[in-house]
Chain A
Amino acid sequence: MRAVDAIMECLKAEGVEHVFGIPGGANLPTYDALYDAGLRHIQCRHEQGAGHAAEGYAKASGRVGVALATSGPGATNLVTAIADAVMDSVPTVFITGQVRTDLLGTDGFQEADVTGITLPIVKHSLMIRSAEEIPTAIHEAFHIARTGRPGPVLVDVPQDLSREDIAYEPVDSVELPGYQPTTEGNTKQIRLAAKALANARRPVIYAGGGVVNADASKELVELCLSDKLPVTCTLMGLGAFPAPHDQWLGMLGMHGTRAANYAMDEADLIVGIGVRFDDRVTGKLSEFAPRAKFVHIDVDPAEISKNVPAHIPIVGDAKRILPKLTAEYRALAPDTARLDGWWKRIDGWRDKHPLRYDDSETAEIKPQRMIEALYEVTGGDAIVASDVGQHQMWTAQYFHFDGPRKWINSGGLGTMGFGLPAAMGAKVARPDDNVICVSGDGSVVMNAQELATCVTENIPIKVFVMNNGYLGMVRQWQELFWDRRYSSVDMGKSPDLVKLADAYGATGLRVQDKGELEDVVKAAMDADGPVLCDVRVTPEENCYPMIPAGQAARDMVG
């Protein structure tokens, strides 16, 4: 059969049901094979949209997201999505067309060295050199993308090779001598960690996106509830521990709660699980958690002691390690009363510094109120994708995620334009769930073209745009740290989002009176098909609390 038909067989063997992408010259053969392959292809409007949709699909389902693009500009348009997927460890496979092998290296039409361009931002990439190796390469790509620390894998397929006939035989297993992720944690280290935890008087469990990736939420909850262990999650980890909860301190980091950040600051033992001690969490590294010893559990050994030296490193899969840690910890029968003083201290912070905002005295909608309304109307029963900026932080603060894979955002790379296509991908993966996108007036237009995809492919996502007329987070920084010199952050009045929705054939709604907010949100949720809802909010509201960049937890402001 043709190599491209073999690709389809491989995709099906990998359990793929949906692929996102755009055809072009170099991947015409692939699209010819796709025509009657029995897979659902979602024809996107921009390859970046296809890439983020594949990410949203993966994040919502835990399955590998797949995006296809042609050579040259098609492939380079994927670059942002690939970089995003590597930063947030999203299992994705990108299959790009490449110019014919006789044109390779000659600056042929639509030639770009996409394997070279993406070298620093892929988990792995495979440049196909002969048609026979295509099936193995596809299976290797899926295996690498989904195992260990997940990530993006690129397969670049020259057009002529993809049309060749090959003797296809199903591939049972892949052999990668240099790739053997550790899954089981070291038993001695786990025992030592349990002992440290049992002897800690001011412990904090610090859980991140790795817990979600490992599908280890249940195991995390069991550990935390086996005693009264305080737990905080990173932006990427939200939902790994169900919020709200007595033992939940809220998100930590730059826009986290004071309780979470102060607890990290005073902790004597921090158990990091699937986290990478990112600068948005640690602030000034030299003043981060100065009293703490660190247990660090991660599937990627290179994360351990990269930013913060670990005292008890444990490499492996959180899903396998956490039950063992919980069992060892229980066996030590630690005295819960030792944590009483610690909880008193934490409760003091929680009482004194809850997340709060001053509601408007007029009809004006405060951005925080918008998120609360989304939470109340949906009862939290929604997958929420967000873009990047103030709205993202407010969603993280005010939408209480009670389970994993309900919060889909671009954490590491901070990609504006991620939200809408990611929501689209999530809805394809989980069609029976409510899927919301919270965006901003800056972010939404960066991939608004995918509304056309949502309409034509019948993907009914509900996009709520927190419209403050600014690139809000940049404006906030200019206000606070750059003497209010508002340089290039005013978005003007364009576009009219209701008309934009209309132009795409989606439902456009607008609300600017807080008395009507809930009704409009309900109307959006109840409408058939995709909705773009323009929520006009207070133009100059700041997102607090905040650790100014490069400062320490105790320097929180607001």
Chain B
Amino acid sequence: MLELKHITKVYNTEPRHLVEVISDLTLSVADGEFIALVGPSGCGKTTLLKMVAGLVPQTSGEIFLDKQAVSSPGKERGIIFQNFSLFPWLTVRDNIAFGLNLCKMDKQKKETAVNRYLRITGLEKFASFYPRNLSGGMQQRVAVARTLANNPRLLLMDEPFGSLDEQTRSLMQEFLIELWEKERKTVIFVTHDVREAIFLADTVYVTTPRPLAIKQKFAIPFARPRSHALKLTKEFFDWETRVAHAIATDFGE
């Protein structure tokens, strides 16, 4: 169980000019739940994910993962960035093994884990490639494999498919949903694509920009496993309209 309690983040951009990017945000995510945060772009959502990852401190409020306060990065929380952030000097295989190489681990075990995620992400043939020689979709699969190889319980995804073309994005969504069915990790998925959010998540939170706050919560009822065909149904379209409407209306209306 992940709990965010009254999180606030204020950036001190210049003397006497404070910018509040997150305002009194409270949120809880159950184990194995897939939630999506959807709303207009602003820096708040990325900051929120980085806080949960332990990369950025909050100004006030508390974050608990299974009652344990979060204050620094930890292997049980994996983060995937929009721009892939692969290490360009490492091959696909070595990128995936990065986290495993940091801890003392049996070489055989390491090898097995890396091979497993190469297979799951369909990158076996590209194990010795450098990131620069891969397409955007493949690079993001490497980033996913690299994070999963660390075996986190919580997966933080910051618009992971935002820079991909429509077709690749659609394929990556199916890839992610299949993976999630298998591994059932807790996921916080940030996106500004309403369809993506509804297709992937159990719960969709519509957020406000600057400062970031939860505006409305939607429990998405579609059964799992979900497939691409779902996106073509009338029910899906109705949900899309409803969520899009929630985003478009002004706060306080």
Q: Do the two shown chains form a genuine complex with each other? A: no
* A-binding residues in B (CB < 8 A): none
